[in-house]
Structures are given as structure tokens and as C-alpha cells.
Amino acid sequence: MGRAPCCEKVGLRRGRWTTEEDNLLLSYIQANGEGSWRALPKNAGLLRCGKSCRLRWINYLKTDVKRGNISSEEEDLIIKLHASLGNKWSLIAGHLPGRTDNEIKNYWNSHLSRKNIAQNTTKCRTSSTKKTRKPRKTSSLPSKQSNINPSSDGLITDPNGTSPLILSTNTENEQVQNIGKMVENDLATASSSMDDSNEEKEHECDWDWDFEIDKCMVGLGLGFEGENFDGDVLSWPWESPTTHVGLDMKKQDEMIAWLMS
């Protein structure tokens, strides 16, 4: 027997929300608070599914939702976080104040993924001749996410792994920039350990933040995963509970040795 539907769909409205519906939902939540989404539509006098109400609230009506274009700082951060976290839109959104997972997902799909593909095509074509990497063994999740502090809902932590990078005293832009800087610092440190005399390795380990990191040379010292040009999904064969956004130099060395073997 299948699971019961989340709501009785017969007679429910679908599609775009009207201003009247928005007002009903807004005033109900302002009076009664969030939650109980299943019961909310009936109580609020809305002919909508509870899930639809929740989505409308989270993505549009909530007061802290930031509207307008994604700034270059935000875009930069999205790229970096996506390289680290993959399609964990809610986690990425957690580092972008006022942005929703849906908005970031849409922005990625419509702006950045295309860019990503283009960059890969032009910059990384030579990588197709490289040795085949080992296929992933497990799920699509990154093999480790030690940069995620489980007690603080996915906030990136400092190298000591304790304090969240997002500080409440910072402005939103400062928060975005801080996170970006931390990721850049990690990568710069990782880069400094590379032997840049090897041309192929230099190409493969281009640590400038551009789009090839996500697909071409993913995870060295960062512990995330990616795909090679044949579409094989990879993950890295280690676990390290002590690293943050990525630095574990011993593991990096092991990774380099493994790649070059």
C-alpha cells in the first residue's frame, strides 16, 4: 500500500499564487507562526496544499528573503560552496543570507552550470587523456563533510573546527566575503604544497577559482567529489574527521601519490 498523499488534492488550486492568497498566508503566519503546514491551508482559508504553502512562505513571503540579482560576491561564493558541497542547495543557501535554496538552485542551473560546462570544454579538454580515476563506491554524498559543523546547521568552521565563520556582527556582504576568503585561503595553502614543475599536474591542480575545479580536479585536500570527462562520478577514498574546508596535507599528499600512480 502506498503512502497517503500529503493532502487531499481534489479542489485545490495550483500554479502561481495570487496577491490575495499571499495576504491570507502572510497574515495567518504572522498571527499563528510557522509550522503545521498540513493544517494551515484549512485554518487560513486557502485552497492550497500544505507543501505549497510552506514553499511559498519560505521562498517568497518570509521577511528575510532577499530579492534582486545575485551579486558577484554571492556568485563567487556559490561557485566555491558548490565545489565543496555539491548540490546541497539548502546548505549553500545557509551561507548566503536572505537567499533560498530554490533561488540558488535556479541560479546555478540557469547561469553557472552552463558556464561550468563551457569552461570545462575549453580548459580541461586535455584531461580526457589522463588516467581513469577510481569510480566512487558509495552514495552521491561527499565522502566527508568535515567542514560542516553538525551543531550549527552546516556552517563552515574555522581551521580549529569550532567557531562558525558567519558572525552575526558582520554585514551580509562581509559574511559572504569572509566565507569566500576562507575557502580561497584553504585552496591557496593546498596549492602551495603542489609541485608545479609537472605540467600535467599543474593543469590538473589549477587552484585558481574557476569552474574547472568542480569537474576536473575536485577535492584534493577538500574531500569532496566530482566527475571526470567521461561522466564517471568520483569520490575520494579517505575519511578525515579533523579537517575543515579542506585542509589535511597528509591526505593531500596521499591523494597526489594516488593520482600520479
- Binding residues for DNA, rule: CB under 7 A, are 1, 3-4, 6, 9, 13-17, 35-39, 48-52, 54-56, 59-60, 87-91, 101-103, 105-107, 109-111, 114
In whole angstroms, what is the distance from residue 143 CA to residue 4 CA? 34
Query: Strands (DSSP E) along the chain, which ranges?
Result: 148-149, 155-156, 226-227, 233-234
What cell was used for 116?
Answer: 561550468
Closest CB to DNA among residues 37, 127:
37
Cα(190)–Cα(246) distance, integer angstroms: 9
Q: How far is the CB of 120 from DNA (least distance, A)?
A: 17
Listed residue (240, 220, 227) closest to 136, CA to CA: 227
Give whichever of 5 and 241 is closer to DNA, judged by the CB atom.
5
Q: Which is nearer to DNA, 139 or 171 (CB)?
A: 139
- C-beta of 8: minimal distance to DNA in Å? 11
* Cell output for 16: 502561481
DSSP three-state, residue 164: strand
CB of 76 to DNA, least distance (A): 17
State the cell numbers at 115. Answer: 558556464
113 and 209 in contact (C-beta within 8 Å)?
no
Q: Which is nearer to DNA, 114 or 181 (CB)?
A: 114
CA distance 140 to 193: 28
Q: Smaller CB distance to DNA: residue 76 or 204?
A: 76
Q: What are the φ and ψ backbone dihedral angles of 113, each rounded to 5 degrees?
A: -65, -35
Q: Which residue, 62 or 123, is less far from DNA as judged by CB?
A: 62
Convert 214-226 to b/e letters by CB count within 10 Å (16 or more is b): bbbbbbbbbbbbb
The nearest distance, CB 170 to DNA, in angstroms, is 22
Question: Between 77 and 190, whose beta carbon lies closer to DNA?
Answer: 77
* Cβ at position 78, least distance to DNA in Å: 13
CB of 72 to DNA, least distance (A): 15
Question: Helix or strand or coil: residue 219?
Answer: coil
Query: To the nearest whole angstrom, how small is the minimum distance from the Cβ of residue 36 to DNA?
Result: 5
